[in-house]
Amino acid sequence: MAAMTTVPSYTASIWVRMCHALPRLDFGMQMRDNLFVPDSWEYQQTLLVLSSLSAIALVISLLVVLSFLIHYCCCHRGDRSEGSEEEEDEDGSTGHGYSGKKGKGICCVTWVAVAAVTLCCVAIGIGFYGNSEANDGMYQLTSSLLTANYTLASIDLLISDTISGLQLSVSGPLASMEELFSGSKPFLVSTRNCRRLSENVISLLSSISLARPSVDAGLLGNDSGVSGASITPLTPVPPSVAPTVVPTSNLLPNPFSPGWAANTLMVNEDYRWLSYVLLLLLDLIVCLFILLGLAKQARWLLILMTVLAWLFLFLSWGSLGLETATVVALSDFCSDPNSFVLNSTQFNMGTSSDVLDYYLTCSRRMNSPFQQLLTQSQRALSNIHSHLSSLDRNALPQFPKAEKSLREVQQILNSTEGNFHQLVALLNCRGLNKDYIDSLKGLCYDGMEGLLYLSLYSFLSALAFTAILCALPGAWRSFPSESEEYDDSDSESEDPFTSHQDSKRFLQWQPWL
């Protein structure tokens, strides 16, 4: 039983604290605080400065690749004649030109390219894991938001059903009972007390609203406007099978409502996950074709892969900048999420910050802001029940025609009490606070970890493509030219023992044959 009353807690992870502690500089190189204020231009400047670090790294990568290109194109131009003379000497002794310095160069370039491609494959594996973790975190976030949205919709629906039932009882059977009891003052006073108490409960429940002014009762399949007997207690169902409550046409969706946020996040997450999967698959294909081009010594394939490697180099550093800004902003939010939610979330009907703080913290020392309203409503319903029991015992023997109206009022009261007990349970902070904590854990634990792994993937991928672009010119230079390939094919096709010229010379030196 103690575990049932334990309120779940949230603490920032070590990754959140480390990223949140990073220094922040604006465009003027002045230190700024790390409070999460996404609408502030000063805060946006700090994120742009952090993202610009990847642009600086991109410039360094371009300079490194350019230096290697200058080294291979300019500094080794004079070595071709020396290399060709050495190859001729080696051909006379070994029969091929891939030994000595050239063979060592081919081996070095091959190992550098293989190491770079291996690093790229490791980065791709890290990227797939990070993408999966980020997707799991976003799924937990959207699932918790949908659950909270269904809870809020259920609260509004219970209030709407209860108010509709009490209004129906006031205008229908209670009005009939007042006409029947017009000749008996004690019974008439009891009936009017029931009507007054019902109107008091209607007024109290109308002041309770968390997300929307009202929700049509027919949205969840419970139509309370048919008759008083049609009011049945609402039984909440799991959010996986519960329909998403959509506001009616005359109500604009709240941009801070959990349902609107969950639907938006689901759409954006689908595009984000698919984009990363395609990027990772293309990255893997490029790495494999680079290995194939080195193995087959296919110049045209290496030309195509070099172009794609340049493209992925820019994409890797660009994605790293975007992920860095996202990780830092997320760490600022996750370090103190309650403050941002309290300052930015706007509820309809003038909901005070005390109500929001009650559901965000759910402290045992805090009383429910609806406790007084619920207590007064419960007392009013109990008094109505007492008056109806008294009328049932005393009035029905004298006024048998009032039995039908009295039974209708009792049935409406029983349904209203059932809805009221469910409303009290849903207004307790534990349910909504658990959804809030689960959404924070999904975003700040799995989502943060996934973004960090994706950042590591982008960094390793950028390093790998930088190394590949540095090694490909050497691989290109080590490939045999078309004339060398033609000479090699001719030398392999000719047989020195069956050659016509060798046979003729042999006959000239053997005249006796």
**Which residue is listed with tokens 């204020």?**
37
* CA dist 368 → 413, 430, 436 (Å): 25, 11, 17
pLDDT at 351: 52
| Residue 374 within a domain | yes
- pLDDT tens digits, one per residue of 285-341: 988 888 887 777 777 787 888 888 899 999 999 999 999 999 999 999 999 888 888
> Does 443 map to a domain?
yes
Q: Is residue 237 part of a domain?
A: no
- Point out which residues pair with 25 in neighbouring strands: 31
Q: Could you read off the pLDDT of 436-467 as tens digits, one per residue? A: 999 999 999 999 999 999 999 999 999 999 98
Number of domains in the chain: 1
Using the predicted structure, report yes or no on whether residue 214 has a pLDDT greater than 70.
no
299 CB burial (10 A radius; 0-12, 13-18, 19+)? middle
Predicted confidence (pLDDT) per residue in 392-438, tens digit: 888 888 888 888 888 888 888 888 888 889 988 888 888 888 999 99
pTM for the whole structure: 0.75
Question: CA angle 286-288-292, nearest 5°?
Answer: 110
pLDDT in tens, 295-304: 777 777 878 8
Describe the chain by its helix, strand, coil percentages, rounded to 5.
75, 0, 25
Residue 99 has pLDDT above 50, yes or no: no
Question: Which residue would you say has higher pLDDT here, 158 or 99?
Answer: 158
- Location of structure tokens 């008056």: 387
* Domain limits for position 352: 51-73+148-209+256-479
Q: Could you tell me the CA-to-CA distances from 509 to 111, 498, 512 in Å, in that order?
A: 52, 17, 9
* 432 occurs within a structural domain: yes
**Residue 249 is assigned to a structural domain of this protein:** no
Residue 467, domain member (yes or no)? yes
- 214-241 average pLDDT score: 36
24 phi and psi, to 5 degrees?
-120, 130
What's the burial of 295, exposed, middle or buried (CB within 10 Å: 0-12/13-18/19+)?
Answer: exposed
Percent of the chain with pLDDT over 90: 20
- CA nearest 433: which of 2, 13, 20, 5? 5
At residue 228 the predicted structure's pLDDT band, cuts being 50, 70 and 90, is very low
**What pLDDT was estimated at residue 61?**
92
354 within domain boundaries: yes
Kindly report, residue by residue over 346-362, the tens digit of the pLDDT.
544 445 677 888 888 88
Tokens of 127: 């990227």
Which of residues 141 and 226 earns the better pLDDT score? 141
Nearest to 299 by CA among 120, 488, 480, 80: 480
| pLDDT, average across residues 128-155 | 90
* 356 located within any domain: yes
Read off the tokens for 373. Answer: 């309203």
Q: Please tell me the least confidently modeled range out of 237-246, 319-328, 366-375.
A: 237-246
